[in-house]
Structure 1
Amino acid sequence: MNILILGAGQVGASLAEALVSEANDITLIDMNPEPLGQLADRLDVRTVVGNAAFPSVLRDAGIESADLLVAVTQSDQSNLVACKVAHSQFGVPTRIARLRSPDFLDPVLLSTDNFAVDFALCPEQEISDYIAKLIEYPEALQVVEFADGRVTMVGVRAYDGGLLVGKPIRAMREHLPAGVDARIAAIFRDTRAIDPDGDTVIRAGDEVFLLAASDHIRTVLKELRRMQKPVRRLMIAGAGNVGSRVARRLENSYEVKVVESRAQRASLVAGWLDHAVVLAGEATDETLLQREDIAGMDMFLALTNDDENNIMAASLAKRLGCRRVLALINREAYADMVQGGPIDIGLSPAQVSIGSLLTHVRQADVARVHSLRRGAAEALELVVRGDRRSSRVVGRRIDELPEIRGASIAAVVRAGLVIIPHHDTMIEAGDHVVVFCTRKRHIAAVEKLFRPVNSLFSFA
């Protein structure tokens, strides 16, 4: 596929990195040559310096032969204009835009007759939804859903004394109540992926991805984690676009305090919120945090636009007694470095957003994609199409499918029923199949396996 990515920021760079190894031709456009040069040095991509909304720049980038345009620059206006130009002047089949302002998220405005955006991504909304899930599961490092919320996958850290720690995975079934089934989709040990089977022994400190029907996931979590008290009180550092949206999302269900360093912004956001308390001050001010009872907070969310400030504020909140802290961190190297230390969760906005983008880019019939472990792994929800003659998977047992190292079928959803599959589970047309990939270079092989083929060929 020939893909144009407009904007070489965190989202554009993460998307290019995710797609470049999958036989795609990627061209990146940005006005700043520095990030383009850095990406060209480590990825097999073409780069063009210029304004991505200009037809002449798009033409130089080869838009005439593009199959997909993804506009993720920092400017909503540039992204909209680029999609309009790509549709009306160059006939690009699919156009995706990142839009921060809710004013632009109007179906009529985005329709083919106007800005011609096929899919609009709002990063702040994605992050807000994601954080809400993490608060719902305070034990989790990552929470993602599939099949319209019927299936939940949770990443947790196994702890000393957990029921399964020191035991083989097959022992999990002995502890689960009748009618409750689950799958350990992957284990990461010292940053290395382990393909689990029934004999794999879980160790304390392992990062374990559990998958189950959403109604059963809390029961399953008890096997690996001490269940923490539900979150009631939380503090948010930063009242910018992300912080204010998260506060608005949570204020009716939790006791929320927001700390904002800019007095004028604090006053403005206070007028938008109904129940949350907004404080003008620095989140790195020890006196302020103690005065506002940081030790009594269940969770602290550092959501400013400054990575270093978020790291410092979250670390301070943890030292002062806050039970769990999260820091929004744009730089991937920082997120890898701090998580697991004083900071419980280092959250990359780009990795939260990229799943939605990949859902619309993957070449198989993909209903949902989630980027996991800051891009190191991926989980896909694929819709099975065709029949036994036109499909490589329909009418076949899982143990009859070709083995793809690093990829495993973790769940099957059939007519609303969640099935935790075993080797003899048969795949049927219409199934939604959740596949966990610990090795991203094999995603193209997974997509190919699930894509319908020419019905003239038989796979009997």
Structure 2
Amino acid sequence: MNIIILGAGKVGSYLTEDLADEGYDILVIDRDKEVLDKLLASNDVMGIVGDGRDPEVLLDANVGSCDLFIAITLSDDVNLIASTIAKKLGAKNIIIRLREAKYINQREIIEDITSASRIINPEMIAAKDIQRALKYSHALNVEGFFDDQAIMMELVISKDSVLAGAKIMDLNAYSYDYHTLIGIVNNKGKVVIPHGSYVLEEGEKIYIIGAKEGVDRFYKKEVVDRIEIRNVLIIGAGAISTHLTELLLDRGFEVTVVDIDRKRAELISEKFSDAIVINADGSDPDVLEEVRVESFDAMVCLTGMDEENILISLLGEKYGIEKIIAKVNRTKLLKMTGILDIDTTFTPKRVASDVINRIIRSKENARGQSITSLYRLEDDQVEVIEFAAIEHSDILNKKLKDLKIREDTLIACIKHEELDGRMEVASGESMISLGDRVLVITTNHSFQTIDDIVE
């Protein structure tokens, strides 16, 4: 696959390194020669110095023959103009990074103009990930599917869990109460798609998947000593903080934002009247004591400096805050110092790169329009694939119990597009109809169409 990346900033550079490791043919365009040379020196990719809005630059890059054009500079205007020209010149697929509300709110118009495969907002993606981490404080990982109608959550089976020592087949009634399935089990690194005879053990990592409401109820039942987070302190009032504050307020959280920059503090205060906004230095212990930091259930450190976020996190630990999340772009800094558990941090550029990589993998693996999205979990041992049920499929309108589904595969959820998008957790009685979207979990890496799920 030939990929052109416009923009060699933090996200563009991380994405380039990520995709180069995957073996793709990559060309990077950036106006800053010094930044571009640094990226080229450490990666086996090509580069052109120039303005992505200049048709001559895009012609030099042979954009008309590329499989994917990714516009990911810091400027929405540059990304939009460059993508429009790239499409006119023949780029097959386009991904655009847009952040400004005036564009995001007109997503359909932008997609129509550019024929974009995907419009991404890294800050919004990061905010959603943080919001999930706060809601499910004991979950190791949470992924959303079908526009978050379905949720997959990774948990560890505790000693007192009903699941410990039970066979999957004996838990059918228990699982049915929550409309969930156990889709993946990781026992000390050995990953399996469990079936009825599988006996669950204490300490195993499991992935529960189902309708959002059912997974919520399962989580509350399974994690008895969970932290109920309602009161959140956010240090830093940048773009991620803005999205996160909105998400949290919409879900009934109490939010306090602290930022040393008066203008940023005023902007977020004007936007969210229900949030408490304080113009002060969130890294100052005296300020933290004044805001009664020990009274918060969670702290999210989102300043523009890694070192500052680490320092504030350490102060939060000292005050006994149960849940601390820190934005850290230079993850090597954490690994070298060993200051914080890496699981308490997140990297926006990596979040955006993961989303784009997922889109690329789904397109590369697809035949026709069958695969619409592809996720990889557990060090790429498991694939979670969204299929579209297309014409001439052999599995249409048949009960799942009558199909000879592969042992390494589980049909988890079905979204019935013809029934107003109703989402169903799959059972033996379920049937797949033309146009449905189907979520499949498998350890097989060769699936190309939905018919590959049967032997």
For the aligned residues, what is the CA RMSD?
4.0
**How far does the alpha carbon of each residue in 1:391-438 deviate from its partner, in whole angstroms, 9 at most, with x for none?**
8x885958735676xx6543334452523456x976554332223467
- Superimposed CA distance per residue, residues 49-82 of structure 1 (whole angstroms, 9 cap, x where no aligned partner): 4235044443343323113211112332331232
Partner of 1:418: 424
Report sequence identity in percent: 24
Is 1:7 aligned with 2:11?
no
Corresponding residue number in structure 1 for 2:391: 386
Alpha carbons of structure 1 residues 47 and 235: separation in structure 2 relative to 1, 3 Å: same
CA contact (8 A) 2:382 2:442 kept: yes
- Measure the CA separation in 2 of the matches of 1:355 and 1:369: 11
Map of 1:43 onto structure 2: none
Displacement of 1:274 after TM fit?
Answer: 0.7
Q: Give the aligned partner of residue 137 of structure 1.
A: 136
Query: Structure 1 residues 194, 235: closer, same or farther in 2, change over 3 A?
Result: same
1:65 is aligned to: 65
Structure-to-structure mapping, 1:23-102, within 5 angstroms: 25-30=25-30, 31=32, 32=35, 33-40=37-44, 46-51=45-50, 53=52, 54-88=54-88, 90-102=89-101
> Using the alignment, how far apart are the partners of 2:441 and 2:19 within structure 1?
17
1:291-370 to 2 correspondences below 5 Å:
291-331=290-330, 333=332, 345-354=344-353, 356-357=355-356, 360-361=359-360, 362-363=362-363, 364=366, 365-368=370-373
- 1:162-177 equivalent positions in 2, closer than 5 A: 162-165=161-164, 167=165, 170=168, 173=171, 176=174
Question: In the superposition, relative to structure 1, how do residues 175 and 261 fare at CA in structure 2: closer, same or farther (>3 Å)?
Answer: farther
Taking the aligned partners of 2:216 and 2:285, their CA distance within structure 1 comes to: 35
Residue 360 of structure 1: how far off its partner (Å): 5.0
Q: Which of 435, 440, 450 does residue 435 from structure 1 map onto?
A: 440
Q: How many residues align?
A: 434
SS of 2:286's equivalent? helix
Aligned position for 1:249: 247
SS in structure 2 opposite 1:64?
Answer: helix
> Would the alpha carbon gap of residues 342 and 187 (structure 1) be closer, same or farther in structure 2, given more than 3 Å must change?
same
User: Given the alignment of the two structures, is residue 220 of structure 1 paired with residue 225 of structure 2, yes or no?
Assistant: no
TM-aligned CA deviation for residue 350 of structure 1? 3.6
- Aligned equivalents of 2:318, 2:443: Cα separation in 1: 34
**Which amino acid is 1:263 matched to?**
R
> How far off its partner does 1:329 sit?
2.9
Q: Are residues 280 and 379 of structure 1, via their aligned partners in 2, closer, same or farther at CA, if it must alter by over 3 Å? A: farther
Q: Distance in 2 between matches of 1:376 and 1:34?
A: 33
Separation of aligned partners in 2, 1:341 and 1:382: 39
1:104-124 per-position Cα deviation (integer Å, ceiling 9, x unaligned): 3335873655x6655422222
CA contact (8 A) 1:8 1:36 kept: no
